[in-house]
């Protein structure tokens, strides 16, 4: 199984799922890739992931961006 530092690149959840299923024994992969009865929960989960979008912001002024984080009441 690949470690996080040697994992092949992926661009979608389907790519990641394919890598995971290839690394698992067939019986285990079949269990995780399927759903119970009519698989409505599995379909809902896939639809939920499909709604996620990464919206790149280009040509935005970042000269005053503060990337510090507040942790336990202190900004670092």
* pLDDT for position 44: 92
Residue 75: partners with Cβ closer than 8 Å, 6 or more residues away: 68, 69
C-alpha–C-alpha distance, residues 72 and 12, integer Å: 35
* pLDDT for position 31: 86
**Alpha helices, DSSP H only, in the chain?**
13-23, 26-33, 40-50
Residues 32 and 23 sit within 8 Å (Cβ to Cβ) = no
* pLDDT for position 24: 92
Low-confidence ranges of the chain (pLDDT < 70): 1-5
pTM more than 0.85: no
C-alpha–C-alpha distance, residues 39 and 27, integer Å: 18
């Amino acid at each position: 199984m690949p470690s996080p530092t040697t994992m092949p690149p992926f661009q979608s959840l389907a790519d990641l799922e394919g890598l995971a299923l290839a690394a698992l024994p067939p019986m285990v992969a079949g269990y995780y890739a399927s759903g119970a009865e009519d698989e409505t929960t599995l379909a809902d989960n896939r639809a939920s992931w499909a709604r996620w979008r990464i919206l790149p912001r280009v040509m935005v002024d970042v000269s005053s961006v503060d990337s510090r984080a507040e942790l336990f009441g202190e900004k670092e």
